[in-house]
Amino acid sequence: MTKYDNLDASKEIEQVITQDLKRALEKRGFTIVHNSNTQSHSPAGKSDIELYNNGVHINVEITKSYKSSQDREWQSIKDHFEETIKNHSNKNCFLIFVSPETYYRTINSIKDWNFAHIKDKDKKIMPVCFSTFELLINKLIESTKEKYPLKELLNLFNNFVKFIDDESILREFYENLFSTDLQLKNEIEKREEERHQKVVEELISGFKQLEQKLRDEGIATGERAIRNVIYLVFIKLYEEKKEKEESQRNRFTISTFREYQVNMRDKKKSIHKLFNDIKNDAELKSCKLFSNEDVLATRLEDDFVIAQFIESFEPYAFYTTKVDGLGAAYEVLGQLSGKDTKLGQFFTPENVVKFMVKLAELDTEDIVFDPACGTARFLTHSMEDMVNKTMGMRDQKNKIENIKKKQLLGTDFDPTVAKLAKMNMYIHGDGKTNILDEDGLTQIDKDKKIDVILTNPPLGDLDYYSSRYDDDFRKKRMEVIPKKNLTKEKLEKAIENIKINTEKLTKQINVNKIKKIKERLNELKKTQSELEYKINHNESDYIVSSKLMKGGGLFLNACKHYLKDCRNNSEKIEWQGGKVLIVLDEGILNTDNYKEVREFIKKNFYIKAIISLTKDAFVPVSKTMTKTSILYAIKKADLDSLQVEPIFFAHVDKVGLNTKKKVCENHLFDSGKDILSKFFEFKKAIVTSYEGLNFNRKKFESYFKAGEING
What's the per-residue H, E or C state across 634-697? EECCCCCCCCCCCCEEEEECCEEECCCCCEEEECCCCCCCCHHHHHHHHHHHHHCCEECCEECH
Over residues 684-699, the mean pLDDT reads 94
SS3 91: coil
In this structure, are residues 128 and 169 in contact, taking their beta carbons and an 8 Å threshold?
Answer: yes
What's the average model confidence in pLDDT over 123-151? 92
Q: What is the mean pLDDT of the chain?
A: 86
Least confident of 116-130, 171-185, 195-209, 403-417: 195-209
Range of 150-154, 180-184, 389-393, 504-508 with top mean pLDDT? 389-393
Mean pLDDT to the nearest integer, 216-228: 90
Q: Is the pLDDT of residue 324 over 70?
A: no
| 271 confidence band (pLDDT: 50, 70, 90) | very high
Q: Identify which has the larger pLDDT, 83 or 149.
A: 83
Q: What is the per-residue pLDDT across 447-463, written as a single tens digit (0 to 9) for each? A: 889 999 999 998 888 88
Region 289-300: what's the mean pLDDT? Answer: 92
53-86 pLDDT per residue, tens: 999 999 999 999 988 899 989 999 999 999 999 9
Residue 266's pLDDT is what?
78
For the ranges 110-124, 534-548, 661-675, the lowest mean pLDDT is seen at: 534-548
Q: In this predicted structure, which of 100-109, 201-210, 214-223, 632-641 has the lowest mean pLDDT? A: 201-210
Q: Could you tell me the CA-to-CA distances from 335 to 15, 331, 373, 455 in Å, in that order?
A: 54, 6, 18, 22
54 burial type by CB count under 10 A (0-12 exposed, 13-18 middle, 19+ buried): exposed
What whole-number distance in Å separates Cα of residue 365 and Cα of residue 402? 9
Residue 389 has pLDDT above 90, yes or no: yes
Higher pLDDT, 315 or 597: 597
Using alpha carbons only, how large is the chain's radius of gyration in Å?
Answer: 31
* Phi and psi at residue 368, to the nearest 5°: -110, 135
The reported pLDDT for the residue numbered 665 is 84
Q: Are 360 and 454 in contact (CB under 8 A)?
A: yes
Quote the DSSP letter at residue 495. Answer: H
Report whether 348 contacts 377 (CB < 8 A). Answer: yes
Q: From CA 403, how far away is CA 401, in angstroms rounded?
A: 5
Question: Which one-letter amino acid corresponds to residue 148?
Answer: Y
Q: How large a percentage of the chain has pLDDT more than 70?
A: 87
Which residue ranges make up each domain of the chain? Answer: 13-180, 188-338, 484-542
Over 60: is that where the pLDDT of 694 sits? yes
- Mean pLDDT of the 489-513 span: 70
pLDDT at 541 over 60: no
Strands 49-52 and 31-34: antiparallel
Topology of the domain comprising 13-180: Restriction Endonuclease (3.40.91)
pLDDT of residue 64: 93
CA distances to 160, 359, 464, 550, 597 from 589, in Å = 52, 20, 20, 11, 8
Q: Does 707 have pLDDT greater than 90?
A: no
Q: Which residue has the higher pLDDT, 260 or 346?
A: 260
The angle that helices 182-216 and 223-246 make with each other, rounded to 10 degrees, is 140
DSSP string, 594-616: GHHHHHHHHHHEEEEEEEEEPTT
Residue 630, Ramachandran bin (φ over 0: left; ψ between -120 and 50: alpha; else beta): beta
Mean pLDDT of 677-687: 94
Cα(315)–Cα(195) distance, rounded to whole angstroms?
13
State residue 110's pLDDT score.
94
Residue range 224-236: average pLDDT? 91
Residue 46 CB coordination number (10 Å): 16
Residue 201: what pLDDT? 80
What letter represents residue 31's amino acid?
A: T
Higher pLDDT, 52 or 222: 52
How big is the CA angle at 332 (ends 329 and 334), to the nearest 5 degrees? 110
* Cβ(32)–Cβ(21) below 8 Å: yes
State residue 706's pLDDT score: 47
Residue-level pLDDT at 521 = 66
pLDDT of residue 344: 45
DSSP 369-430: EETT-TTTHHHHHHHHHHHHTTTT-TTHHHHHHHHHHHSEEEE-SSHHHHHHHHHHHHHTTS
Neighbours of 105 (CB within 10 A): 18
Which residues fall within 8 angstroms of residue 418, CB to CB, at 6 or more apart? Answer: 373, 411, 412, 435, 436, 437, 438
Grade residue 334 by pLDDT with cuts at 50, 70 and 90: low
Task: Determine the distance from the C-alpha atom of residue 590 to the mean position of all C-alpha atoms in its chain, rounded to a whole number.
Answer: 31
The confidence band for 24, taking pLDDT boundaries of 50, 70 and 90, is very high
pLDDT at 625 > cutoff 90: no
Q: What confidence tier does 536 reach under pLDDT thresholds 50, 70, 90?
A: low
- The residue with greater pLDDT, 539 or 332, is 332
Q: For the chain, what is the total number of helices (H) and then of strands (E)?
A: 27, 23
Stretch 358-372: mean pLDDT? 97
